[in-house]
Amino acid sequence: GKHGILHIHLGNLETKIDTILSIVRQYPSLISYFSPTHTIRTRELFEECIKFAKMGGIIDISTGGTKFTEPHLAVGMALEAGVPLANITFSSDGRGGVRREDPVTGNVTYKPAPLDLNYKEMVQLVKKNILPLDQALFLVTVNPARNLSLKNKGSIAVGKDADFLLLNEDLSISSVYAKGKLMFNKD
């Protein structure tokens, strides 16, 4: 039941997302099949991605990796530019390997990406008054679930998977439930 999308990891190409914009301008019904991520590698790339989102596409702001600004600030920029909140998601590349080569020794190592960046950026959206909590959560719940057509994820309702993140007043994590089972309890 998962929606088939082309999740495109964007690089720092001179052409930015010209090809994607050209396709969706010619065939607007295809816009929901494209899901560009790493949209904040450069300011120029992000400006093109904002155009895509204003046309109705969903852009993903990676909370890890190369970026010209902090992800929560990029959300604010997109919203100010007129991108609907429903057209923005966060993702982390959680545990994806980042290849590093020591310039002196030539030794290659891999550093796994952190798992908590989406949460940290969501908290920054709230603490810096960019979005209230109920809207900031959409970037990591409702919006990604809708983008992927994951009907049992993203919100709380009868028949859904009962995934819950309980927060304290200071937005620290209190408990985590997955499919109704307690997975973590700080207290």
CA pair distance 64, 37, nearest whole angstrom: 11
Residue 131: Cβ within 10 Å count:
20
> Are 48 and 72 in contact, with CB atoms under 8 Å apart?
no
> Are 151 and 144 in contact, with CB atoms under 8 Å apart?
no
CA pair distance 55, 25, nearest whole angstrom: 9
Q: Is 93 a catalytic residue?
A: yes
Residue for token digits 């980042």? 98
User: Residues 18, 93, 116, 163: which is the catalytic one?
Assistant: 93
Torsion of the alpha carbons at 66, 10, 18 and 121, rounded to the nearest 10: -60
Backbone angles phi, psi at 109, to 5 degrees: -130, 165
Choose among 145, 142, 96: nearest CA to 117: 96
Instruction: Provide the annotated active-site residues.
Output: 93
